[in-house]
Chain A
Amino acid sequence: MAEPAPGWALRVTGLSKQFGRVTGCQDVGFEVAPGEALGIIGESGSGKTTVLRCIAGDVEPEAGTALLRRGPDVVNLFALDGPERRALRVSTIAIVYQDPAQGLNLRISAGGNIAEPLIAAGWRNFGRIRARARELLARVDVPLDRMDDLVGTFSGGMRQRVQLAKAVANNPALLLLDEPTTGLDAAIAAGVLDLIRDLLEETRVTALVVSHDMTVISMLSSRAVVLRGGRMVEAGLTDQLLEDPQDAYSQQLVAAARGTL
């Protein structure tokens, strides 16, 4: 039997970010256990993407701490400077963007996109880089005969798969997913969702999944928080949030999603 999870892997407290007069997020806090996927539910403008981007290091918050546990060390993501953050993005934290074009270089090959994090992590053997890229592409069901094709020639679903392969290339400790299947055709999205779910279970990576789509949240996460207007409105087990939401707004969201579940 698997051992019980020792404490938390990520602990966020008091996360706040203003964009001028618009509240990005206000006093958001949560914990994620090692190997767990936490869902962040909200409509557009809820602050869910802001929270993710702060943790990823793309945006700097005004207040808050984000403690990440890595082995015996604990690091506050918001206290790091640029180079330290970037180093973390190579080895420890990976993000999958809603638009794969944001996380990939469309003008280089699929293999080249995967080579980039490997090279950033110090890989210098061409044969081994190719082998690892092949392994990852196979894992995400991208046909190997497309490995050397430019990602710009790939469909949206394939691009997203390449983005996933790139994100897990260096076995990150924390994986951030921002609306990973939004914008994909329903059938394609279902396949990508299955893939993400399998990857999360296999790699046992700690993950944050941001989505407005309850199907995505319920497939991928065991616990979730609901954001509205930048604030946390409710938190709980994912199936409990969907079955028995307590907050009025949560109830509205779930009722609206009922038809799709």
Chain B
Amino acid sequence: MTVAELAASAGTGEFGHLDEQSKREIRNALLTAVAVPGYQVPFASREMPVARGWGSGGLQVTLAVIGPQDTIKVIDQGDDAGVNAANLRRLIVASTGVSDTTDARAASIIQTRHRVPEDPLGPGQILVLQVPVPEPLRGVERDMRELRRMHAEADYSRIWVSLYEDLVRNGVITQSTGYPVLVGGRYVMATTPIPRWDVPRLHQAGFLSLFGAGREKRVFAVPPHTSVEPLAFEDVPFQVERTEGASCLLCGAVEAYLVEVPARHGWICSDADWCWRRREAADG
């Protein structure tokens, strides 16, 4: 007699690792988050089989919303094969029995630690993001009460001042991840973990984005068709990172997020699956 058999015979079959109560609590938090786009909703973050800081928040969000008919895709930087992504995917599939895929077009839930997939996502798809630091104002203020007040009164001057300082010191705004955005014209949100390249893709998107921060115990959301505007001075427009003349060594793509391969003195696509399909199509 194993513990698993005992548990099974007790009839407490858990779908998706979390008990129903926990899922309900997280879903309530997520509903609030969707109702107030960009607002950080506190939730009671559980102990998960991944350590905090390794995607426990994103994982809890996924497990709270996933159902038997969903198809899951999990990526690390842009790559399904990363160790972390693999672990998370195994855990989700084992506790739910859902099918998994590397094709973003076929997935109903995509959990990511960094990239938004190159394929445009649409209605019925949920992007779940693993967030290390949810607070966009963390660099300019530490006091909890003051942070709450700043969000409550939409008093975001200090973060604008930090953008001013960045521009002054560096000539351009250098923040590469976690660029602050104004969501729904009301709350300033951190776009961690996604790179600047992907920030414009949240604006008026057809899909739902859910952000989970396990260590900080917060969730927030951007519902479909919501405005997401990067904070930028009117005379210094927001720009994505770009390396002139770079293209993917494997598929030749230019208009995609590329990562450097120093050993090869070149670049390859971050979204590994998308790149592979392009090559298949080209050969095809």
Contact = CB atoms under 8 A, between A and B. Distances in A.
Interface in A97-115: 105, 108-109, 111-112, 115
A4 interface: no
Given A124-B234, A126-B233, A148 B169 contact: yes
A119 B234 contact: no
Contacts of A119: 157, 160-161, 164
Contacts of A260: none
Interface residues of A, number: 19
Given A124-B233, A127-B235, A112 B165 contact: yes
Interface string B217-252: 000000000000000011110000000000000000
B255 interface: no
B14 interface: no
B128 to A, nearest CB: 33
A84 to B, nearest CB: 11
A170 B157 CA distance: 14
Interface string B167-197: 1110000000000000000000000000000
A86 B158 CA distance: 14
B260 interface: no
B167 A126 contact: yes
Contacts of A86: 153, 155
A129 interface: yes
Contacts, number: 45
Nearest to B154: A83
A66 to B, nearest CB: 22
Nearest to B164: A115
The majority secondary structure among interface residues of chain B is helix
A109 B168 contact: yes
A125 interface: yes
A111 to B, nearest CB: 7
A112 B168 contact: yes
Nearest to A83: B153
Nearest to B236: A126
Chain A residues touching B, majority SS = helix
A112 B233 CA distance: 14
A129 B164 contact: yes
Interface in A115-132: 115-116, 119-120, 124-129
B161 A108 contact: yes
A116 B158 contact: yes
Contacts of B161: 105, 108, 112, 115-116, 119
A112 B169 CA distance: 11
A148 B157 contact: no
Among B149, B165, B236: residue with most chain A CB under 10 A: B165
A126 B157 contact: no
Contacts of A148: 168-169
Contacts of A124: 160, 233-234
Contacts of A129: 164, 233
A126 B153 contact: no
Contacts of B167: 126
Nearest to A112: B165
A86 B164 CA distance: 22
A127 B237 CA distance: 12
Interface string A69-91: 00000000000001100100000
Nearest to B167: A126
B235 A125 contact: yes
Nearest to B163: A126
Contacts of A116: 157-158, 161
B153 to A, nearest CB: 5
Nearest to B152: A83
Contacts of B168: 109, 111-112, 148
A129 B164 CA distance: 9
A82 B234 CA distance: 30
B164 A112 contact: yes
Contacts of A127: 235
A124 B236 CA distance: 10
A128 B234 CA distance: 10
Nearest to B153: A83
Contacts of B164: 111-112, 115, 119, 126, 129
Interface string B140-166: 000000000100010101101100110
7 contacts: A86-B153, A105-B161, A108-B161, A119-B164, A120-B155, A126-B233, A129-B164
Given A82-B149, A111-B168, A126-B234, 17 more contacts: A105-B161, A111-B164, A112-B161, A112-B165, A115-B164, A119-B160, A119-B161, A119-B164, A120-B155, A120-B157, A124-B160, A125-B233, A125-B234, A126-B233, A128-B235, A129-B164, A129-B233
Interface of A: 82-83, 86, 105, 108-109, 111-112, 115-116, 119-120, 124-129, 148
Shortest 7 CB-CB contacts between residues of A and residues of B: A126-B233, A120-B157, A119-B160, A119-B157, A115-B164, A112-B165, A126-B236
